[in-house]
């Protein structure tokens, strides 16, 4: 009898979930019983949100991860300036969410309308309500269409910002293509912080490259800037001078660069000093964290989300981790830039912190780093690097590290960095989405 009983007991152990018999929850068991598993909802499927979803599951397969993203195809903003100038196709920047689904992320194509930090739930346009143990909020940027007289979401359908979404990139590309030789391409840059800090200046170089090689060599690029300096300024100015002498003019904010109003139909922009007529007008509106983050009370008075540096948890609401461009950063006083690379390392820190928290562990050591390449021409690249540590609950820029590519560099360096920009792009796409 005792032998049979013993065998029966062993069989029971083997057949039933081991942990439920012994009341020790294991990840393997929980993975099969996701109803009882911890739930993490990720809002937004850009570089940061997708990375968070993937790394959460990689670190702890027992968590039920749901990613909510309206679009079925993601289009990268990094390297989109090369689409404007036909060096790259829009398709080469696009990827779907199958890779995340295969990893076990539940991908829901819907729009989050409300985040309720008290009830720990999110609501969607499609009528879903999802509760969470932890939420990752990665909404990217909101564009303030109404900040300047003459611009609106409606006007943006003809006066492209090309700072968000494939349609905008393609709209600007079409306008550049149609621009006559000798035309003026105006780029209006908003007050910092904005996503991709070197983006407008890289765009200027790319547009000049296009004009030079597509029968428009007499054209000019005029950058009207609301700021008095910009990312990688010395490197950009060196590249403009070397590659496109006389084609690119930059006007600082204090020298009359700040655009005060635009006329979309006449394609004119007015500053405090002048009025400029553009053949192509690329107006980039001011950014903030967007209405969803604001509605959830996650933003500060400047419209950006402040976080706890150790974990990326919101400084306002416990259990919500904000990652990517919606986070505070990108100003001279607080330099953590709004880049895909930065957002991905933030997402990885958040994923580690959430997994630790859900498993009753202390948050891991956070590692933040940024690498951002700019391409002044297909074979001419340079970069900026930042490394951050957390000390006394503050982000600290590591002074010994980081910085921009040297101005005095052997010619091979610019070529190498252009090659590495491409490798970087392929790897971030794979790291975030597959």
Partner 1 sequence: MRNILPHCLSAAALLACSTAPLAADLNLSGLAATCNNCHGVGGVSAGSSMASLAGQNRAYLEMVMLQWKTGERFSTTMGRLLAGYSEDEIKALAAYYAEKPWTPAVQELDPKLIRQGGFVLDRCSNCHGKTGGKTKTEDTPRLDGQWVRHIDLELEKYRDGTLALPNQKMADNAHKLKEKEVAAITAFFASQSGDKAETKSK
Residue 416 as a binder of partner 1 (CB under 8 A): the answer is yes
Residue 364 as a binder of partner 1 (CB under 8 A): the answer is yes
Residue 133 as a binder of partner 1 (CB under 8 A): the answer is no
Of 197-205, 208-216, 310-318, 412-420, the segment contacting partner 1 by CB under 8 A is: 412-420
Residue 405 as a binder of partner 1 (CB under 8 A): the answer is yes
Near partner 1 by CB under 8 A: residue from 53, 176, 387, 390: 387
Residue 408 as a binder of partner 1 (CB under 8 A): the answer is no
Judged by CB, which is closer to partner 1: 178, or 426? 426
Judged by CB, which is closer to partner 1: 57, or 112? 57
Near partner 1 by CB under 8 A: residue from 147, 266, 361, 407: 361
Residue 400 as a binder of partner 1 (CB under 8 A): the answer is yes
Separation in Å, CA 74 to CA 37, 94, 113, 339: 29, 5, 20, 16
What is the Cα–Cα distance from 386 to 398, expressed in whole angstroms? 8
Phi then psi dihedrals of residue 314, to 5 deg: -55, 140
Q: Spell out, one character per residue from 264 to 303, where the chain touches partner 1: x when CB under 8 A holds, - when not.
A: ----------------------------------------
Q: Spell out, one character per residue from 39 to 78, where the chain touches partner 1: x when CB under 8 A holds, - when not.
A: ----------------x--xxxxx----------------
Residue 422 as a binder of partner 1 (CB under 8 A): the answer is yes
CB 85 within 8 A of CB 209: yes
Judged by CB, which is closer to partner 1: 194, or 424? 424
Residue 171 as a binder of partner 1 (CB under 8 A): the answer is no
Near partner 1 by CB under 8 A: residue from 84, 344, 376, 390: 344
Structure tokens at 93: 């920047």
Structure tokens at 218: 């007499």
**Minimum gap (Å) between residue 169 Cβ and partner 1:** 21
Q: Which residues bind partner 1 (CB under 8 A)?
A: 2, 5-6, 9-10, 13, 18-19, 22, 24-28, 55, 58-62, 341, 344-345, 348-349, 352, 355-356, 359, 361-362, 364-369, 371, 383, 385, 387, 389, 398, 400-403, 405, 410, 412-413, 416-417, 419-420, 422-431, 434
């Amino acid at each position: 009898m005792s032998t049979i009983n013993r065998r029966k007991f062993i069989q029971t152990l083997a057949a039933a979930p081991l942990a439920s018999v012994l009341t020790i929850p294991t990840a393997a068991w929980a993975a099969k019983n996701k109803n009882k598993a911890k739930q993490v909802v990720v809002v937004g499927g850009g570089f940061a949100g997708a990375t968070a979803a993937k790394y959460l599951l990689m670190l702890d397969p027992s968590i039920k991860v749901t990613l909510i993203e309206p679009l079925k195809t993601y289009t990268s903003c990094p390297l989109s300036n090369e689409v404007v100038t036909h060096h790259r196709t829009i398709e080469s920047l696009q990827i779907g969410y199958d890779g995340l689904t295969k990893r076990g992320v539940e991908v829901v194509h819907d729009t989050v309308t409300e985040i309720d930090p008290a009830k720990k739930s999110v609501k969607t346009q499609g009528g879903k309500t999802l509760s969470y143990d932890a939420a990752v909020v990665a909404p990217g940027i909101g564009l303030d269409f109404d900040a300047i007289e003459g611009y609106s979401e409606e006007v943006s359908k003809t006066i492209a910002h090309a700072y968000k979404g494939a349609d905008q990139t393609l709209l600007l590309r079409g306008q550049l293509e149609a621009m006559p030789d000798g035309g003026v391409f105006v780029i209006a840059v908003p007050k910092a912080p904005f996503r991709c800090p070197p983006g407008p200046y890289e765009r200027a170089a790319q547009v000049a490259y296009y004009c030079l090689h597509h029968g428009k060599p007499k054209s000019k690029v005029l950058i009207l800037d609301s700021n008095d300096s910009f990312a990688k300024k010395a490197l950009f100015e060196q590249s403009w001078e070397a590659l496109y002498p006389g084609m690119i003019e930059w006007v600082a904010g204090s020298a009359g660069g700040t655009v005060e109003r635009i006329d979309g139909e006449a394609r004119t922009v007015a500053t405090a000093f002048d009025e400029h007529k553009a053949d192509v007008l690329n107006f980039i509106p001011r950014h903030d964290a967007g209405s969803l983050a604001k509605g959830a009370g996650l933003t500060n008075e400047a419209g950006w989300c402040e976080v706890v540096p150790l974990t990326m948890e919101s400084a306002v609401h416990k259990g919500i981790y904000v990652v990517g461009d919606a986070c505070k950063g990108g100003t001279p006083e607080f330099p953590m830039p709004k880049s895909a690379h930065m957002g991905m390392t933030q997402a990885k820190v958040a994923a580690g912190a959430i997994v630790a928290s859900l498993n009753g562990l202390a948050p891991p050591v956070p590692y933040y780093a940024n690498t951002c390449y700019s391409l002044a021409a297909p074979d001419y690249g340079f970069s900026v690097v930042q490394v951050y540590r957390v000390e006394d609950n503050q982000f600290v820029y590591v002074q010994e590290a980081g910085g921009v590519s040297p101005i005095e560099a052997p010619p091979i360096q610019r070529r190498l960095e252009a090659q590495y920009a491409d490798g970087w792009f392929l790897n971030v796409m794979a790291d975030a989405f597959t």
